[in-house]
Amino acid sequence: MMNSDLRRCSAWCAALLCVLTVPQRTWAQLKIEITSGVTDPIPVAVVPFASSGGADNGVDVAQIIQNDLAGSGRFKTMARSAMTATPSRAQDVQIASWKAAGNDYVVVGRVTPLAAGQVAVDFELLNVLTGQQLANPRFTGTPAALRDAAHRCSDVIYEKVLGIRGAFATRIAYVSVDGAPPAQRYQLVVADADGANARVILESHQPVMSPAWSPDGQWLAYVSFENKRASIYVQQVSSGERRLVSGRVGINGAPAWSPDGRKLLVTLGGSAGTPNLYILDLSTQQLTRLTEGPSIDTEGAWSPDGQSVYFTSDRSGGPQIYRQGIQPGAKPQRLTFGSSYNARPRLSPDGTQLVMVTQDGANYRIAVQDLASGTVRILSHGRLDASPSFAPNGAMIIYAGIEGGHSVLQRVSVDGQTSQRLRADSADVREPVWAPFTRPQG
C-alpha cells in the first residue's frame, strides 16, 4: 500500500532521485552490556543446536538466542561449560538433571539442510518444572537469514515465558558521528535490534539527523544538511532509492510518518524562521498547516489512530508537550507540567503512554508519562539522555546518553527494572529509532 503511494509520489514529483548505494559493510558494531536486570531473572538453559552437514554455516544459533534472552535482563542463562549433556531434541532431554541444575526452562534445537540451499531451524522450549513442551516452531530460509531465525526463536521464547511479544527480530536505525569538529563524518546506520548486521545507508560531512521509520519498516525519513541547509528525504532501506520530499526555505525537520504511511508530519520554519507543524501528503505534496505563531513548535509524533499529534512547543515560555487534533480549528492542549523542560514526545504503540526528555535538576533524562493519569516516571540516570524511542512491543525504550565522553545507545524497560548499554567501537552513536514489527504476530 505504502510502496505504491511512494511510487506514485516518485512519478508525480520530478524530484528524481539518485540511487544511493553505500557498499554493504559493517560499521560501528554495537555490543550489548547489561547495566541492570530484574532481581529474580528466569533461569534458562539454551543448549547448543545440532547442525547437520554444516547447515548452520558457522552461525551459532543457540548463542544468539542466549545473548538475546540474557541481554533482555529478564533471563539468567546457564553457562555452556556447566552443561553435562547437549541434547538437540525434546525426547532426549533428561528433565531431572536440568531441573537439578537450577533451570526453569530448557531450549533445544537443530539446523538442518533443505532443498535448494535452504535451511530449517527447529527448536523445542521445555518447562522443566512441569515437563510441558511450550513451543516447537520451524523457521526456514537461506543460511544468510540464520541470525534472523535465531532472533525469531528468541521472540517465541520471550512471549511463551513472559506473555509479552518479543522484539528481538526487529531493527533499529541510528546516527553515528566520528571525527572532531569541524571535520565530522555523519552516518545513518541500520542494524538488527542487537546491534549486529550494522549497515551504513547514508554518509555525509554535513549533519544527518531525525531518522524515522515508515510504518511498514521499509523506509526511513530523515533530515540531511548535505546541501548546507536542512532537507527531508525518504529512503528505501533495501534498495537505497531515495527522494527529496521537503527542501523548502528555512527549517525542514522532525519528520514522522502517519500510521497509514501516506503522510509525514514535519516542521517547517519558512523565511521568518518560526517553526510550525505541517502535514505533508506524500502522494500529492499538499501541505496542511497545524500550528501557528512565533513559538518553536516541533518534534511532532502521531497518536496510533492518526487523529491527533503530540509535539514540543515553547509557547508557554519553555519547551513543553502538547496534544492537538488534526481536524481544522483544533486547539493544542498542554500535557506536561512537572519540569521546566519537557520535549520530544513519542507514543507507546498502544497510545497510552508518552516518553520524553525531561529536565531533572541539572540533568536531562528519559521519562514516561501515563496519559490517563498524568503520572510521570523518570527511567534513566544519565546527565544528557536524549532521543527516546519505544520498541514495537512497548516493553523497552531505546535512547542515547553520554558515557565516558561519548554518546552511546541505552535501553531501559518501561518498568525501569532492566537496562542495557549498546556500546559502539569508537564513534558517537545517537538518535536511535526502533523499527516497527514487519511480520504478523505468531
Partner 1 sequence: MMWYKFFAESMESTMRKLLSLMLLACLVSLGACSHKPPKDTGTAAAATQVPATGAQTNGAAGNSALGAGAGAVTGTDDVAGPQEGILAQRNIYFAFDSSELSPEGTTLIAAHAHYLIGHSNLHVRLEGNTDERGSREYNIGLGERRAQAVRRAMLLQGVAETQLSTVSYGAERPAVEGHDEAAWSKNRRVTINYVQ
Of 18 and 96, which has the nearer Cβ to partner 1? Answer: 18
Other beta carbons less than 10 A from residue 24's beta carbon: 9
- Interacting stretch for partner 1, rule CB under 8 A, among 37-45, 86-94, 164-172, 176-184? 176-184
Q: Which of 44, 251, 264, 409 binds partner 1 (CB under 8 A)?
A: 251
Q: Which of residues 281-320 bind partner 1 (CB under 8 A)?
A: 285-287, 289, 296, 298-299, 312, 314, 318-319
- Our CA angle for 89, 91, 92, nearest 5°, is 70
Q: Is the peptide bond before 294 cis (omega within 30 degrees of 0)?
A: no
Q: Which three cell numbers stand for residue 215?
A: 510504518
Other residues' Cβ atoms within 10 Å of the Cβ of residue 243: 19
Q: Binding string, 340-359, against partner 1, x = CB under 8 A? A: -x-xx------------x-x
Determine, following the binding rule CB under 8 A, whether residue 248 of this chain makes contact with partner 1: yes
Q: Which stretch binds partner 1 (CB under 8 A): 69-77, 90-98, 247-255, 415-423?
A: 247-255
Under rule CB under 8 A, residue 53 binds partner 1: no
Q: Are 118 and 127 in contact (CB under 8 A)?
A: no
Question: Counting contacts by CB under 8 A, is residue 254 touching partner 1?
Answer: yes
- State which residue, 196 or 244, has the beta carbon closest to partner 1: 244
**Residue 372 binds to partner 1 (criterion: CB under 8 A):** no
User: Strands 105-113, 42-46: parallel, antiparallel or unpaired by DSSP?
Assistant: parallel
Compute the residue count for the chain: 442
Residue 432 lies near partner 1 (rule: CB under 8 A): no
Of 203, 217, 338, 421, the residue at the interface with partner 1 (CB under 8 A) is: 203
How far apart CA 417 and CA 162 sit, in angstroms, is 15
**Contact in structure between 187 and 174 (CB atoms under 8 Å):** no
Q: Is the peptide bond before 319 cis (omega within 30 degrees of 0)?
A: no
One of 103, 170, 246, 413 touching partner 1 (CB under 8 A) = 246
* Choice from 157, 188, 189, 202 touching partner 1 (CB under 8 A): 202
Closest CA to 174 of 209, 205, 149: 209
Q: Interaction with partner 1 in 216-235: which residues (CB under 8 A)?
A: 225-231
Nearer to partner 1, 357 or 414 (CB): 357
Q: Which helix (H) or strand (E) holds 346?
A: strand 342-347
**115 vs 180, which CB is nearer to partner 1?**
180
The secondary structure of 131-193 as a DSSP string is: --EEE--EEEE-GGGHHHHHHHHHHHHHHHHHSS---SS-EEEEEEEES-TTS-EEEEEEEET
> Cα-flanking dihedrals φ and ψ of residue 436, to 5°?
-70, 170
- Per CB under 8 A, does 22 bind partner 1? yes
**Closer residue to partner 1, CB minimum distance, 131 or 270:** 270
Least separation in angstroms between CB 411 and partner 1: 19
